[in-house]
């Protein structure tokens, strides 16, 4: 079984938090293989002073829906304050860090650039550096393998909370590796005192269900490992008027819209013969989000061979076929003159090329050099074979 950084901290590196005032950035995923929470483990030893908790998007319990702002709960007396990093602020403020010696980050990521937990980590690293506070990352597996990289690198002009730094869509790194890579290679808060607690027994080719660790859904619409595998490509649909299945029992698996011809779309997508993928025509109705309570037609994306499956490739083909075949209905969603799709994609080039009818295959080929460049750049920061 893989031993996560939380376990290794208590076995070998407790000096990082002993005799110090600790702030813990975490949520419901911060457990060890025995289902003990990091909050309980850090609160019990008399030599560790747990002074504050910080929660990312979806809150400490992981129950809030995407985009819902969460208030802090500071309480009184001996109660440990819980500060939201997805409300009025997206990073710890100097007031929140007053009296804190070390910030500990322990959250399960899903391996995609636009999943906001890594944005929380990077912004918290910046806040820690400014406040002269140590930063400790307790490492956890990349659930969709650490040897697969897909997609383009984010352009600086499109930096946002769904894309904090210049990494590909599917980055193939653990959070500790990302922290070290961003600090050094991308010159991100070079003054930060960063410490990482590595895992034991994890290898880059592992899927999460091969680690022996319990799967705790990192967010309400990430119920399974299969969802996480689809997410790097299907999440791009959030920037369009296609439903990505939020509000159903199969988020990021069921996709469509009221104006889609299910059979025709499934046939067209299956004729492309994307590796490890089958598209089944379906009908569904979401209880919230896009087209709430309105029947939709579309496809279920079935992963037939996860080792061959390429989520970014699949996501681009879903969008390209809908953009081409349903021009009277399909659109990229615009808000205040800006396209959310561009923030997810990390560039406006992808949207413009898709609108011009360029094939996903051509687009992916054009990204090959920057993907290879990233793979070379990240190599010195990889902690596992």
Q: Which domain holds residue 240?
A: 225-347
Contacts of 242 (CB under 8 A, 6+ apart): 255, 256, 257, 260, 290, 298, 318, 319, 322, 330
Half-sphere exposure for 156 (CA within 13 Å, toward CB): 1
In this structure, the answer to whether residues 192 and 66 fall within a common structural domain is yes
pTM > 0.85? yes
In this structure, the answer to whether residues 47 and 139 fall within a common structural domain is yes
In this structure, the answer to whether residues 163 and 265 fall within a common structural domain is no
Which secondary-structure segment (H or E) carries 341?
Answer: helix 340-345
The 3-state DSSP class for residue 202 equals coil
What ranges make up the beta strands (E) of 163-228?
168-170, 194-197
Compute the chain's Rg from CA coordinates: 21
Whole-number pLDDT of residue 190: 87
Judge whether 354 lies within some domain: no
Whole-number pLDDT of residue 74: 61
> What angle is formed at CA 239 by the lines to CA 236 and CA 244, rounded to 5 degrees?
60
Judge whether 253 lies within some domain: yes
Judge whether 171 lies within some domain: yes
The answer to whether the Cα torsion of 365, 234, 274, 332 is positive or negative is negative
Phi, psi of 77 (to 5 degrees): 65, -130
Cα distance between residue 108 and residue 304, in whole Å = 25
CA 234 centroid distance within chain = 13
Judge whether 37 lies within some domain: yes
In this structure, the answer to whether residues 177 and 68 fall within a common structural domain is yes
Judge whether 370 lies within some domain: no
Judge whether 51 lies within some domain: yes
In this structure, the answer to whether residues 255 and 202 fall within a common structural domain is no
Judge whether 355 lies within some domain: no
The total of structural domains in the chain comes to 2
In this structure, the answer to whether residues 268 and 245 fall within a common structural domain is yes
Judge whether 15 lies within some domain: yes
In this structure, the answer to whether residues 317 and 343 fall within a common structural domain is yes
Question: Around Cβ 333, how many Cβ atoms within 10 Å?
Answer: 14
Question: Around Cβ 99, how many Cβ atoms within 10 Å?
Answer: 11
DSSP 42-68: HHSSTTEEEEEEEE-TTTTTT-SPTT-
Cα distance between residue 235 and residue 245, in whole Å = 10
In this structure, the answer to whether residues 147 and 254 fall within a common structural domain is no
The 3-state DSSP class for residue 296 equals strand
Residue 107's CATH number: 3.40.50.12170
Residue 343's CATH number: 3.90.1150.140
In this structure, the answer to whether residues 117 and 28 fall within a common structural domain is yes
349-385 per-position pLDDT tens digit: 999 999 999 999 999 999 999 999 999 999 999 999 9
In this structure, the answer to whether residues 265 and 239 fall within a common structural domain is yes
> What angle is formed at CA 298 by the lines to CA 296 and CA 299, rounded to 5 degrees?
140
Cα distance between residue 123 and residue 192, in whole Å = 12
Question: Around Cβ 337, how many Cβ atoms within 10 Å?
Answer: 5
In this structure, the answer to whether residues 194 and 229 fall within a common structural domain is no
In this structure, the answer to whether residues 202 and 247 fall within a common structural domain is no
Residue ranges, the chain, pLDDT below 70: 74-78
């Amino acid at each position: 079984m893989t031993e996560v950084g939380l376990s290794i901290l208590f076995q070998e590196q407790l000096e990082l938090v002993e005799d110090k005032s600790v702030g813990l950035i975490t949520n419901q995923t911060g457990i060890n293989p025995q289902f003990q929470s990091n909050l309980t483990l850090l609160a019990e030893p008399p030599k560790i002073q747990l002074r504050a908790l910080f929660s990312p998007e979806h809150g400490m319990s992981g129950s809030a829906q995407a985009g819902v702002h969460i208030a802090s709960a500071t309480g009184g007396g001996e109660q440990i304050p819980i500060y939201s990093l997805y409300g009025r602020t997206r990073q710890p403020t100097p007031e929140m860090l007053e009296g804190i010696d070390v910030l500990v980050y322990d959250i399960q990521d899903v391996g995609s650039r636009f999943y906001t937990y890594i944005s929380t980590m990077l912004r918290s690293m910046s806040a820690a550096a400014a406040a002269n506070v140590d930063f400790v990352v307790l490492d956890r597996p990349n659930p969709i393998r650490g040897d697969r990289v897909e997609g383009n690198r984010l352009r600086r002009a499109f930096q946002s909370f769904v894309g904090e730094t210049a990494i590909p869509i599917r980055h193939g790194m653990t959070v500790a590796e990302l922290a070290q890579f961003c600090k050094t290679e991308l010159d991100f808060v070079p003054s930060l005192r960063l410490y990482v607690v590595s895992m034991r027994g994890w290898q880059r080719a592992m899927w999460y269900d091969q680690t022996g660790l319990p799967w705790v859904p990192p967010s309400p619409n990430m119920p399974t490992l299969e969802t996480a595998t689809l997410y790097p490509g299907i999440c791009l649909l959030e920037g369009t008027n296609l439903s990505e299945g939020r509000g159903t029992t199969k988020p990021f698996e069921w996709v469509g819209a009221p104006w889609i011809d299910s059979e025709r779309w499934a046939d067209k997508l299956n004729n492309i013969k994307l590796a490890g993928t089958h598209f089944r025509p379906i009908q569904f109705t979401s209880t919230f989000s896009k087209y709430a309570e309105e029947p939709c037609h579309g496809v279920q994306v079935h992963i037939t061979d996860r080792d061959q499956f390429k989520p970014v490739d699949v996501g681009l083909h879903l969008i390209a076929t809908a953009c081409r075949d349903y021009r009277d209905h399909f659109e990229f969603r615009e808000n205040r003159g800006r396209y959310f799709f561009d923030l997810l994609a990390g560039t406006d080039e992808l949207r413009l090329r898709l609108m011009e009818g360029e094939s996903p295959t051509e687009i992916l080929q054009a990204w090959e050099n920057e993907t290879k460049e990233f793979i070379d750049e990240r190599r010195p920061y990889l902690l596992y074979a």
